[in-house]
Chains A and B, each alone.
Chain A
C-alpha cells in the first residue's frame, strides 16, 4: 500500500518590505498521512496555507522544513525519481490548467509517455472513457472547445495517466458551475474506490469536505487548529475558528437568522491551540509569530 506521510511541514516566504526581508510563514508544522482508499480534507479560507501545502506535496514548492515521505507497498521509501509516477495533482481552474495550444490527446499522451506507458490514441481514448467522457470525440479537440466540467474531467484523467496512487485535488470544483460540481466529485469518489487512491482534498467548502472526505484538518494562519473524523469536526466543532466557519455557511433552515460574526472574533480565536478529535485533547502550540 502506497502511503504518503507529511511530517512537520513548514514553508516560509521571504518578502521585501522596504530594505528588510521579512519572513512570512505560510505553513507552520503541518503533519498528516494519506493512506489508500481514504480522503483527507484540508479546509481553510484564502491565505490559510492550504494551496501551499498542495504545491509542496506535488513538488512544485520545496518545504522550508519537514519531510514528505512516500512509502511503497513493500514498505520501502519510494525514490525521488519515481515520486511523480505516484503523486499527481488536479488544479483548481480547469480553464487555466490545460494549455490552450495543445489538443486533449497531447495533454494525456505526454504523461503516459513520460512515465513509460503505451501512449497511443487508444490508450488516450480509454483514459478519457474512465472519466466518463466520449474519448473518441474529445481526444482530438482543444480545451476551448470543452465545457468547464469536461475540462476538469480531462485534468483528472491527466492526473491518473501516470498510474498515480496519491492524488492532490486543489479546490477541484470551486470554479465549476454548481450543478456539475457534484458530478465531478462523484467521479473522483468512484475513481478513488476503483483505484484505491489516497486523496488530499483541498477546499474552503465545509459541506463538501464533510461528505467527500474521511478526515478533516482545519487550517488557520498556516496551522492545523482542529483535526479528526469528518462528521466529528463538522457536527461537533471544538475550536472557536471551526465554530465560526460552520456557522457562516449558508443554512436555508435558519432563515432570517442574524449570525453575529465579527472578523475580530476570528482574530480572537487565535491559533495557539489545536484540538484533535482522535485523542480528544487540546494541544498547545504557542502564539503565531508575527
Chain B
C-alpha cells in the first residue's frame, strides 16, 4: 500500500522502453511526489511512532501545544495519533480500490475492445450504463442495506470499486480501439502471435501511461468517496480513516466550538494527497499527449535583422525574400532555414522542392510570419512589392498591420485534405469571416455574392456553402480552400503540398484549376512540394532546398535539361519515368546508398 510512486517512477532502469514511459522531470512532478511521499510516510511509519489514538484522557478539548502538537478531541484523544492511523486507513482503502477498479476497467475496456464485435458492444454498453448511474447514491444505498457489523473495509472497497471503474474503462476502450488497428498489431498477427500475447506484449505496454493515470484517478476517487461515506456514518465499521475523524469532529461539534485543530488537518491531508496525485497525473498526461508538454523557453535573443527591406528593382517583382534565416530556439538551436534569397515575379509559379525536414515549409510560413515558437527569424528580410505601389517590410509589420496584410495581399492553401478547415462551422461561415474581417463595408448580400462567385470559379456547387467540411470529399475540400484563398484577390498565394494527400486523377483536376486561375487572375504562386517532376511540369522557376539551404535555383526548363547540383540530379533520378528509362532504379544492380539527411526538429508546438 505504500508506494504509488513506484508505479510511475521506480520502473526498472536499464530497459530503454520503460524509460520512455516515465514522466519527464518537472517542478510539478517534484512537488507531487513530495506530497505523496510525506503523506505516505505519515500513514506507513506514523502509527509506529505515536501512541494509541483511542486513549481517553481527562483533559477534554484542548488546543495545540505542549504534549499534543495538534491538541486533543473532546475526550482527550491525541489528534496527531489519530491522524497517523486515519491516514493509514484512508491510504489502504485508496490503494485497494485503485487496484480493483483499474483491474475492472482494464478487463472491460481493453479485453472487450480487442475482441470486438458483440462482446465489445456489450461491454461498452455496460460501462456506459454504469457511468451514467450516479455512483455515490448507489454506494449509500448499498452500504445502508449491509448491517453495520458486516461492513468491513473490504466490503466498502469492493462497493467503491464496482461503482468507480466505468469512466476509466471508457478511456481505455477508446485508446485500445485505436491501438488495435495499428499496423504493428497487424504485423504481430502476421508473425503468428497468439491473441493473448498480442494484448499483453504488444498492446498493454503502450497503454501503461494511461493505466497509471487511471489508477491515480481511481485512488483519488476512492479516498474522497470513502471520506464522504464515513462522514455520513456509513463507512467501514471499526475502521479509522480521515473520513471517520471528520465524522467524529462533526458530531463532537468541533465546528461550533471552534476546534479547528480537529477538523482542519484531516481534510487538508486528503486535499494535499489528492493534489499530489493530480500533479503526478499532469506529468503522465504529458506522456500520453506530448502537445501538453511545456515548451522550453529560451530568453529571446533580440534578432539582429541587419538587412533592410529590399527596394523594388523591377515592377515585375511581387515578393523578395533576402538572406532569410529561421532558427528553432531549442536547447541546441537548429538552423531550419539558412540565408535563403528568392524573388517571386507577378503571375509566376515558383516551385519550392525538397524532402521532409529540408525547411521548405518553415520558409513558407516565415514569409507570412506564421512560424510558431520556438521558431524565430534571426536574419534577413521579406519585402512585398504592392501592385498599388509601395513596399511592405513584412517582418516589421505591427500585429494589426500584419492581420490586414495577411490574406488580402498574400493568401495560403494548406494541405486541404487534412485538417485545414474548421470541422464544426459551415463552409459559408469560414468564407464569410474573411470578408467580415477584411471588408467590413460589404453588405451581407454582397458577401454572399462574393462567396458564390469564388466557389463557381473553382467549380464547386454553390449549395455546398451550407455544408460542413466532413461532408465534402478531399478534392472538394481543397477546391474550397483555393476558393477561400481567392476571396480578396491576393497578389501572392502560398500553396503547401496542396495535392499531396489526393489521388492522381483528383490531383490533376486541382492543378489544372490552379493553372487556369493563375492565367485568368494573374496571382503569383509559391508552390511547395516534394514532387520535383510535378514542379518541372507546372512551375516557371524552381528552388531546390536541402538542409535549410537553396542548393539550386533555376528555370524549370534549365533544371530539367541540365540540373547543376548533384542533389537535384539525385532527386530527379529518384523518380523513375513512366514511359522512359529506368533511371537509377536497376532491378538487377546494386542498391543506392541512402542520402544522409539531417532533419529539422519536430517542435512540441507541432510545426510541420
Chains A and B touch each other in the complex, with CB atoms below 8 Å apart: yes
Interface residues of A (CB under 8 A from B): 45-46, 55, 58-60, 84, 88-89, 91-93, 96-103, 110-111, 114-115, 132, 142, 144, 147, 149, 155, 158, 161-162, 177-183, 185-187, 189-190, 193, 204, 206-208, 210-212, 234-235, 244-246, 248-263, 266
Contact assessment for B592 and A182 in the assembled complex, using a CB-CB cutoff below 8 Å: yes
Q: With A and B bound together, what is the CA distance between A235 and B556 in angstroms? A: 26
Shortest Cβ gap from B418 to chain A (Å): 14
What are the residues of chain A within 8 A of B587 when measuring CB–CB? 186, 189, 211-212
**7 A-B residue pairings within 8 Å (CB atoms):** A97-B184, A114-B193, A155-B187, A180-B595, A182-B573, A183-B593, A262-B509
B568-601, CB under 8 A of A: which get 1 and which 0?
0011011111111011111111111111010000
**In the assembled complex, how far is the CB of residue A14 from the closest CB belonging to chain B, in whole angstroms?**
12
- Report the Cα distance A8→B183, complex, angstroms: 27
Docked Cα-Cα span, A98 to B191, in Å, equals: 12
Task: Say whether B238 faces chain A, with CB atoms less than 8 Å apart.
Answer: no
Surface stretch bound by A, among B96-104, B214-222, B499-507: B499-507
Q: Write the chain B residue with the least CB distance to A45.
A: B503
Which of A88, A144, A235, A263 interacts with B506 by CB under 8 Å? A263
Tell me the residues in window 120-136 of chain B with beta carbons closer than 8 Å to chain A beta carbons.
Answer: none
Does B470 lie at the interface of the complex (its beta carbon under 8 Å from any beta carbon of A)?
Answer: no
In the complex formed, the residue of B with least CB distance to A235 is: B579
Residue among B191, B505, B588 making CB contact with A162, cutoff 8 Å: B191
Q: Contact: B592 with A96, CB < 8 Å?
A: no
B565 at the interface (CB under 8 A from A): no
B residues touching A (Cβ–Cβ < 8 Å)? 16-17, 20-21, 182-184, 186-193, 201-202, 205-206, 355-356, 475, 503-509, 512, 515, 530-534, 536-537, 556-557, 560, 570-571, 573-580, 582-595, 597
Pair A206/B507 contact, Cβ less than 8 Å: no
Q: What residues on A are CB-neighbors of B593 within 8 Å?
A: 183
The complex places the Cα of A46 from the Cα of B586 at a distance, in Å, of: 28
A263 to B479, CA, bound (A): 14
Neighbouring A residues of B506 by C-beta, 8 Å: 263
Q: Determine whether the beta carbon of B17 is less than 8 Å from that of A101.
A: yes
For the complex of A and B, the 5 pairs showing the least CB-CB separation, nearest first, are A252-B536, A97-B183, A250-B533, A45-B503, A101-B205
Chain B min CB distance to A153 (Å): 9
Contact check, B190 vs A60: say whether CB atoms are below 8 A apart. Answer: yes
- Extra pairs beyond A114-B191, A186-B591, A250-B537 (17, CB < 8 Å): A99-B202, A99-B206, A101-B17, A102-B205, A115-B192, A158-B187, A161-B191, A178-B530, A179-B355, A181-B574, A186-B590, A189-B588, A211-B576, A251-B578, A255-B536, A257-B537, A261-B512
CB distance from B58 to the nearest CB of A (A): 63
**B585 touching A92, Cβ below 8 Å:** no
Q: Which residues of A contact B556 (CB under 8 A)?
A: 255
CB of A4, distance to nearest CB on chain B (Å): 15
B504–A245 CB distance below 8 A:
yes
Report the bound CA distance from A186 to B571 in whole Å: 16
Once the chains bind, are A84 and B533 in contact (CB under 8 Å)?
no
Asked if A179 and B574 sit within 8 Å, CB to CB, the answer is: yes
- For A170, give the chain B residue with the smallest CB separation: B183
